[in-house]
Amino acid sequence: MEQEYIVETLDNLEVLSQKIIKIIEQKHIVIFKGDLGSGKTTLIKMIVKQLRSKDHVSSPSFSIINEYRTDQKSIFHFDLYRIKEIEELEEIGFFDYLDSGNYCFIEWPEIIEDYLDMPYIEIKISIMENNYRNILILS
């Protein structure tokens, strides 16, 4: 299924994150695509907030993975921008995280797409005129 949204400001992502929560109840792996500065991490912050985590959400650019807690599940937030070889992910147990049943939000997923053999949701964010965001959700 494909859903498309136009968001005027990054602050408007909160409403969209509520809709995304309903979608990810079925599939716990979500990949986020978009250029630098498109709002991937900001959208993830909003989703984590909607999942009732009180943890501070930040980009895992250097740590590769951040973990956030909710009352019921963990949320694993990955940034694969600096990953050059799939072996780097195998070393940190990346695929075990995917199999854990917890939420896995993955920025810059291109290196692992061919290895994803389980259902996932894809969110593509692109910047339009006037700094609006076009958000396409493929589930």
What is the tens place of the pLDDT at every residue in 29-76? 999 999 998 989 999 999 999 999 999 898 888 889 999 999 889 999
In percent, the amount of the chain with pLDDT more than 70 equals 99
Q: How far apart are CA 23 and CA 138, in angstroms?
A: 10
Tell me if 134 sits within 8 A of 6, measured CB to CB. yes
| Average pLDDT over every residue of 99-103 | 94
- Report whether pLDDT(129) > 90: no
| Helices and strands of the chain, counted as H and E runs | 4, 7
Q: What pLDDT, on a 0 to 100 scale, did the predictor assign at position 59?
A: 86
Q: What pLDDT, on a 0 to 100 scale, did the predictor assign at position 62?
A: 81
Q: What pLDDT, on a 0 to 100 scale, did the predictor assign at position 4?
A: 94
How many structural domains does the chain have? Answer: 1
| Average pLDDT over every residue of 100-119 | 94
pTM over 0.75: yes
Q: What pLDDT, on a 0 to 100 scale, did the predictor assign at position 1?
A: 84
Cα-to-chain-centroid distance, residue 82 = 16
When the pLDDT of each residue in the chain is averaged and rounded to a whole number, the result is: 92
Query: What CATH number is given to the structural domain containing 8?
Result: 3.40.50.300
Tell me if 104 sits within 8 A of 78, measured CB to CB. yes
Structural domain boundaries enclosing 79: 2-138
